[in-house]
Amino acid sequence: MTDFSVRRARTSDVPKIVSLVEPLVSRRILLGKERVDLYGSVQEFRVAETSDGGLIGAGALHVMWEDLGEVRTLAVDDGWLGHGVGHALLEALEIEARELGLSRLFCLTFEVDFFSRHGFEDMGSETVDPELYAELVRSHDEGVAEFLDLARVKQNTLGNTRMLKHL
Ligand SMILES: CC(=O)SCCNC(=O)CCNC(=O)[C@H](O)C(C)(C)COP(=O)(O)OP(=O)(O)OC[C@H]1O[C@@H](n2cnc3c(N)ncnc32)[C@H](O)[C@@H]1OP(=O)(O)O
């Protein structure tokens, strides 16, 4: 049951990523993404697969600013929860973040214990310095709005915790 590996996503993984995340989107645990946006961000994704090629997990790293990135769409197949797949995916995303030169990683999640164990801390009402805020607020990206805790995304953030890790 522990035989899996993590690799970069390919375009052919996108339908399987959709199947993996769809139930979580309907339960409002993850933010829904259109297929066209998943193809457009396929380079951001890592997937976990079994030795026979089954896709059992996925996660993405989105760059928001020079030093700042966000962990997105991290999901593990129900049958594989608690076997280190989420850990392996997050580790791969963190390695990528460091390689890109990022020093802060954001996430918005209900899985506070999982992310706390990986060094993320509750941001509370912490915001960003005014200069950076002025730049980030120009973005149309939902994740950036969630990082800034903007009113228009409050319905997405309800019940979620904004967390940050210093790499
Ligand atoms: C930014 C975002 O995307 S936020 C959204 C986060 N995702 C979600 O909320 C979607 C729903 N949740 C999930 O898909 C999963 O629960 C995840 C992604 C959060 C975690 O995935 P999992 O594969 O279960 O995580 P993982 O197995 O690494 O860790 C969970 C537990 O298994 C344990 N574990 C068992 N085997 C191992 C192993 N070999 N290596 C590491 N941990 C292991 C861990 O210790 C941990 O136990 P703990 O919770 O008591 O500390």
Residues of the domain holding 79: 4-166
Task: Inform me whether the pLDDT recorded for 44 exceeds 80.
Answer: yes
Going from the Cα of 61 to the center of ligand 1, the distance in angstroms, rounded, reads 17
pLDDT tens column, 75-132: 999 999 999 999 999 999 999 999 999 999 999 999 999 999 999 999 987 778 899 9
- CA 144, 150, 155, 161 dihedral sign is positive
pTM of structure: 0.93
**Which residue ranges have their beta carbon within 6 Å of ligand 1?**
24, 29-30, 71-76, 81-87, 107, 109-111, 114, 117
Q: Report the alpha-carbon distance of residue 32 to residue 50 in Å, rounded.
A: 25
pLDDT tens column, 54-80: 999 999 999 999 999 999 999 999 999
SS3 5: strand
Average pLDDT over residues 30-47: 95
Which residue among 114, 120, 165 is best mutated to probe the pocket of ligand 1, counting the most ligand atoms within 8 A of its Cβ? 114
User: CATH number of the domain that 142 lies in?
Assistant: 3.40.630.30
State how many domains the chain has: 1
- The sheet that has 161-166: what strands, in order across it? 4-8, 45-50, 55-65, 68-76, 104-109, 161-166, 121-122
